Amino acid sequence: MTTNNNALPGSWTPFNFDLTPEAKKVFEATAGKLLGVKYTALAFATQVVNGTNYSFLAKGQPVAPQAATRVVKIHAHQPPSGDPHLEQIIIVTP
């Protein structure tokens, strides 16, 4: 039996490793503007609420010399109207 994650309101989609143009736009408008760390989106999932929540798996490379690269989970929200905003960055630990 195949489960459609979009069937239930508020449910998250599976992570998608092919970023859509809209996902790229939200990522660049939020995490792409941060100073001190260069984030590269690897995958994303969405949740439709009042607007759309985005959860990005990303690589974070601090701009400091010899700083370690980290895997992070970045949460952003795109409201029905207006600009997207950053909600949270979580470091993923082994």
Cα end-to-end distance, the chain, whole Å: 32
Distance CA 78, CA 4 (A): 22
Rounded Cα distance, 61 and 23, in Å:
20
The pLDDT value given to residue 2: 33
Amino acid at 63: V
Rg (CA), the chain: 14
32 class by beta-carbon count within 10 Å (0-12 exposed, 13-18 middle, 19+ buried): middle
Q: For the chain, which ranges sit under pLDDT 50?
A: 1-6
pLDDT at 78: 97
Q: What does each C-alpha distance from 93 to 58, 62, 71, 90 come to in angstroms?
A: 13, 16, 8, 9
